[in-house]
A and B are shown apart, each in its own frame.
Chain A
């Protein structure tokens, strides 16, 4: 991984918004123009995005790593900075620092089955891994995408999910917590989709991103069907101010989520996930 900052790692690079797209009621995507050099990153890494005068937030990169000419972030409007970013238009400038952190094990997963389990906006940090696997589809075994959202209206990247589901080399299963009568799909928690996905629990890599509680129950279910701890990967979320291991906010036991994570193998953090308030 390379630090992009020219002077100090706390100083951002300015990039203009080339595309702004609404995704859901409270979620939007901005595509930034990184210039001729492009913006290389690994699936699962994140950037610190700065909105003029308001502040900085850590946001996962959600574009295709094979297309470095556009830097894509899908953001939920939940705080002061994300709200400021949500109001920006094409041409507006955003400060960018990154890419930071660890990545999904797309290299280690070659030759085995891959299971993606995403909840809500947790699909955004996983999309670069999905893109990478689909681009290099022949290198992997069975490919499973399991996705849970609160309601049909909250399903992120609906068009893409439909496209992936249309492929004959990818198994996609979607569920929602609650829905009206016009919903023909599953209703219930995402863990219920695991048992019937028909992957080989002994030769698979699982990548999970979603609310911590959803990740916990998913791991429990995976353990029961025989997936080893070393083959399960999760992306953790913690408060971050610097992304370079200096501010101390993202500590999770002895780990700095910003540089040791955000992607961890479950084997590394199992004992930490079991204690409340770490």
Chain B
């Protein structure tokens, strides 16, 4: 659903303009969402001003590890991403689909909805790719989800080129980052050098161009652009994790490998990987009835293929042991996604590695399978 836009020249905004950016978006009726420190993690939460952004914070990420630490440079966006994903706003963890009420004339269904207008601050390249992947699931297919589509069409995206990679990032290998390509209104690259704390701003839509008039900008010079480009390149170079190129095929060839049992011994079936994944889209439905029994509502909520219930049909679950469930998750993400949507379901953000309580690494499991272990 992204439209190509001919980019005008990049401009520079001072770091002090971030506050103005957030407030101007609020002024236009957007609910501004961005990174904020809470519970010792960077989370994606409503913002009212730039003073709420985590300044001078970076994090340490490794399989099963996430720790914040102070940064040497007081930059706004040198941490990468936490457990939160933007999907929780466009595809909320729990959402009412509709409700039905008993009336003397029979049941009446109420499917009215309130669609928020979001502005996202700091959407990274892997996350933009993930939004594109979810668009294919919820909008571009035979059936479109009306609430998702409405939220998605209204969202204002301030993207971010990463100048630092997290410890589990592998976007380069998945060809999604660290530099953003399209699908944004504005894209920022942070610069902190002797010439000052500032951002290179690229414009990705006419809406973004129009909005930029609300900020104090100056023309970007060649040095600014060079510095910004170099920083992003450095982030790309620092990644040492890679996904094998022929992953889809490796998994398909090893459907009955004994390695699945090996993963199952470590995997706790907790479903963390599916909840932090920015593309995982599985959901279930639940029903709630009020106490007088006259109104019942249907809810859609995130579900995980790691639960036994997920594949239950009368007579028992299809995927009864953990090995089958892990195989389902990784095979769907890396193999079947190509059949279903023409792309990989993995954008290389590394969240599933960081937030796995036992540190299972999706890239390592594929490599182990490739070796025929």
Residues of A near any B CB (own CB < 8 A): 3, 7-12, 14, 16, 50, 52-56, 76, 78-79, 93, 95, 237-239, 241-242, 244-249, 251, 253-256, 259, 275-278
Contact = CB atoms under 8 A, between A and B. Distances in A.
A242 B283 contact: yes
Contact of B339 (A237, A247, A254): A254
Contacts of A247: 282-285, 300, 303
B98 A259 contact: no
Contacts of B318: 238-239, 277-278
A192 B44 CA distance: 62
Contact of B319 (A10, A93, A254, A277): A277
B289 A53 contact: yes
11 contacts: A9-B145, A79-B314, A95-B100, A238-B313, A242-B283, A247-B283, A248-B282, A249-B284, A255-B339, A276-B324, A277-B328
Given A53-B296, A246-B143, A275 B339 contact: no
Given A95-B100, A245-B141, A55 B285 contact: yes
B313 A239 contact: yes
A246 B281 contact: yes
Contacts of A253: 336, 339
A14 B282 contact: no
Given A7-B111, A246-B143, A254 B282 contact: no
B100 A52 contact: yes
B287 A14 contact: no
A93 B314 contact: no
Contacts of A14: 106-107, 109
Interface string B299-322: 010010100001111100011110
Contacts of A53: 287, 289, 293, 296
Contacts of B310: 239, 249
A277 B320 contact: yes
A117 B97 CA distance: 39
A52 B255 CA distance: 41
B106 A93 contact: yes
Contacts of B282: 247-249
Interface-centre pick from A9, A52, A256, A275 (highest chain B CB count, 10 A): A52
Given A244-B142, A249-B303, A254-B340, A52 B324 contact: no
A14 B108 CA distance: 9
B351 interface: no
A255 B255 CA distance: 16
B145 A10 contact: yes
Which 3 residue pairs are nearest across A and B when measured between Cβ atoms? A254-B339, A248-B282, A277-B324
A78 to B, nearest CB: 4
Contacts of B102: 52
Contacts of B305: 248
A11 B97 contact: yes
B143 A9 contact: yes
A52 B318 CA distance: 28
B249 interface: no
A259 B341 CA distance: 14
B281 to A, nearest CB: 6
B332 interface: yes
Interface-centre pick from B143, B327, B336 (highest chain A CB count, 10 A): B143
A11 B98 contact: yes
B30 interface: no
Nearest to B142: A259
B256 interface: yes
Nearest to A54: B287
B149 to A, nearest CB: 9
B2 interface: no
B146 interface: yes
A10 B328 CA distance: 25
A213 B225 CA distance: 64
B324 A244 contact: no
B132 interface: no
Contact of A251 (B256, B293, B336): B336
Contacts of A95: 100, 107, 109
Contact of B296 (A52, A244, A256): A52
Interface in B136-163: 137-138, 141-147
Contacts of A79: 314
